[in-house]
Amino acid sequence: MTIPYYRQSQCDFCGTCVGVCPENAIELAETTLVILEDLCTACMNCVIICPTAALEERDDRKEL
């Protein structure tokens, strides 16, 4: 299980991902977004909903 990958350069800080996270694992500040690894269950709601594709599912197997 891996938390989503976040690309700050593609994020417009709309906050949509924060609203769909069932674990309250996303913290949005003015210029960045933090996914709290301890809370994230990798449900990928945020990845699916992000309108700018700033969040991406990360597949550990590719990194082996």
The answer to whether 28 and 18 are in contact (CB under 8 A) is yes
**CB-count exposure of residue 33 (10 Å: 0-12, 13-18, 19+):** buried
Is 58 a binding residue for ligand SF4 by CB under 6 A? The answer is no
- State the minimum distance, in angstroms, from the CB of residue 33 to ligand SF4: 6
5, 15, 34, 59: residue in contact with ligand SF4 (rule CB under 6 A)? 15
Is 41 a binding residue for ligand SF4 by CB under 6 A? The answer is yes
1, 27, 34, 55: residue in contact with ligand SF4 (rule CB under 6 A)? 55
The answer to whether 13 and 50 are in contact (CB under 8 A) is no
